[in-house]
Amino acid sequence: MADLTTRYLGLALRTPLVASSSPLTGSLDGLRRLEDAGAAGVVLPSLFEEQLTHDAFAAHHALEVGAETFAEARDYLPQLESGDSGLDTYLELLAAAKRALGIPVVASLNGTTLGGWIDYARLLEQAGAAAVELNVYRIAADPAHASADLEAQDLELLRVVRAALRVPLAVKLSPFFTGLAHFARRVVAAGADGLVLFNRFYQPDLDLETLEVVPRLALSRSEDLRLPLRWIAILRRQVGASLAATSGVHGVEDVLKLLLAGADVTMLASALLERGPALVGELERGMASWLDAHEYESVAQMKGSMSQGAVPDPEAFERANYVRTLNSWSSRFRQ
């Protein structure tokens, strides 16, 4: 049987099948189920600094509003006995997962302030994270901010966090960069041990009845893997760092394609939510039999074998696909 092990961020994994941030990785029970089903590693949901700050002030406000206003009531809610704004719970989950699981537990962080990034990253490391995934994203909506400045800020942030941590560091990127390949290389140069491609954002939706803007997160579909597939293939030989593919990993074919393109691991979220942790085992068995059937010795052997530099037509990854598709269709039409 083929060797399914892989290395990601310097961590030895039993297979390339990793559960990425999702509600399933937000509870110890879910994490246990994922390990039992064969996940080679887990990424906890992101710790959002913005959310922590918001929640702390929401509670603060609730405790202060109306306080010391009226002679009959000093305040209106009992004082908090413990001040967990979500951070303690997160760190407890991380520590408990570290104790309970044999597979690496990766923590994920989304900060909003430089201090927040450093402080929280350190706390994650102290709580036992095998690696920290920085969920770096922003919506560059301010026309006053040039892309070069924004990129420089991200890189500075990364350097500072890198200096503060000993554990490996992955950076989860947005696909929306003008010079993604260039930026990816700079991210690695700034100290990232790996890149996670790509972040899927909550996209706003409009409610036609209430005329309100509402956030929605649609689960990914298999087709969504094309985007990471292309960029992993392009970046595989350009950057000397681990690459994780996330978005659109639903079936065994998806996993295989991403590995061929050069992914070190493939991350699962939507598919697990739809089909449950047992899917991991199914994928693993499928991978093994495909590798056996196609006489691959190991994942290491196949990994990147179809990356941009490894295919006969490297430009294929850079072509605007829709043109080719239209052409082929129209040529058929002409026949």
Partner 1 sequence: MKQGAYQETKIRNFHTLLERHPRARAWGETEGTGRQIAPPLRRDGLARPLTPQNSAWGRGSRRRRADHSGTTAATSFVACRRSTGERAAPAPAPEEPAGVTPAVVCIDGNEAAARVAHRLSELIAIYPITPASPMGELADAWSARGRANLWGSVPEVIEMQSEAGAAGVLHGAVLRGALATSFTASQGLLLMLPNMFKIAGELAPLVIHVAARAVATHALSIFGDHSDVMAARTTGFAMLCASSVQEAHDFAAVAHAVSLRARVPFLHFFDGFRTSHELGRVELLEDDDLVALVDEEAILAQRARRLTPDAPVIRGTAQNPDVFFQGREAVSPYYAAVPGIVEEVFARLAARTGRRHGLIDYLGAHDAERVLVLMGSGAGAAEEAIEALVARGERVGLVKLRLFRPFPTAALVAAVPATARAIAVLDRTKEPGAPGEPLYQDVVTAFAESLAAGARIPMPRIVGGRYGLGSKEFTPAMAKGVLDELSREAPLNHFTIGIVDDVSHTSLPWDRDFATDDEGVRALFFGLGSDGTVGAAKSTVQIIAKETALHAQGYFVYDSKKSGALTVSHIRFGPRPIRSTYQIERADFLSVHHFDLFERVDVLERATPGARLLVNSPHAPEQTWHRLPRDVQEQLLAKRIELWAIDADRVAREVGMGNRINTVMQPCFFALSGVLPRDRALEAIRRSIETAYARRGPPVVARNLAAVDRALGELHRVPVPERPTAAFPRRPVVPGDASPFVQRVTARLLEGKGDLLPVSALPADGTFPTGTARYEKRAIAGELPIWDPSICIDCGKCAMACPHAAIRMKVYAQADAPGSGFPSKPFRSREVEHCLLTIQVAPDDCTGCGVCVEVCPARSKSEVRHKALNMEPVAEHRERERECFESFLRIPQLDPVSLDPAIVKNAQTREPLFEFSGACAGCGETPYLKLLSQLFGDRVLIANATGCSSIFGGNLPTTPWTVDAAGRGPAWANSLFEDNAEFGFGMRLALEHHIGEARRLLAGFAPQIGEELARAILDEAGRGDAAIAAQRARIAELKRRLAGFDAPLARRLLSLCDDLVRKSVWLVGGDGWAYDIGAPGLDHVLASGRDVNVLVLDTQVYSNTGGQASKATPRAAVAKFAASGKSVPRKDLGLIASAYGHVYVAQVALGADDSQTLKAFLEADAWPGPSLVIGYSTCIAHGIDMSRSMAHQRDAVRSGFWPLWRYHPGSDPHQHPFQLDSRKRTLSVRAFAETEARFAMLLRSDRARAERLLALAQADADERWRHYTQLAGLERSVPQSTSPGPLAPPAPLVDESTAGEG
**Binding site residues, partner 1, CB under 8 A:** 52-53, 55-87, 89, 119, 211
Joined tokens for residue 139 = 């919506």
**Which one-letter amino acid corresponds to residue 163?**
A
Contacts with 53 (C-beta within 8 Å, 6 or more apart), sequence order: 112, 116
The length of the chain in residues reads 335
CB of 113 to partner 1, least distance (A): 9
Contacts with 163 (C-beta within 8 Å, 6 or more apart), sequence order: 191
* C-beta of 63 vs 180, nearer to partner 1: 63
* C-beta of 16 vs 116, nearer to partner 1: 116
**Which one-letter amino acid corresponds to residue 48?**
F
CB of 90 to partner 1, least distance (A): 11
User: SS3 for 4?
Assistant: coil
CB of 87 to partner 1, least distance (A): 8
Under 8 Å between Cβ of 33 and 300:
no
Under 8 Å between Cβ of 104 and 58:
no
CB of 70 to partner 1, least distance (A): 5
* C-beta of 52 vs 173, nearer to partner 1: 52
Which H, E and C letters describe 173-233, residue by residue? Answer: ECCCCCCHHHHHHHHHHCCCCEEEECCCCCEEEEECCCCEEEEECCCCCHHHHHHHHHHHH
User: SS3 for 95?
Assistant: helix
* C-beta of 3 vs 75, nearer to partner 1: 75
Which is nearest to 21 in space by CA: 3, 40, 47?
47
Strand partners, 8: 11
Residue 110 exposure: Cα atoms within 13 Å on the Cβ side: 19
CB of 293 to partner 1, least distance (A): 46
CB of 35 to partner 1, least distance (A): 22
CB of 79 to partner 1, least distance (A): 7
* C-beta of 55 vs 253, nearer to partner 1: 55
* C-beta of 58 vs 326, nearer to partner 1: 58
Q: Using CA atoms, how far apart are residues 211 and 127, in angstroms rounded to an integer?
A: 43
CB of 58 to partner 1, least distance (A): 7
With b for 16 or more beta-carbon neighbours within 10 A and e for fewer, the 75-94 pattern comes to eeeeeeeeebbebeebbebb
User: SS3 for 113?
Assistant: coil
* C-beta of 57 vs 329, nearer to partner 1: 57
* C-beta of 26 vs 281, nearer to partner 1: 26
* C-beta of 69 vs 298, nearer to partner 1: 69
Tokens 């900060």, located at residue: 111
Tokens 């994994």, located at residue: 13
CB of 37 to partner 1, least distance (A): 24
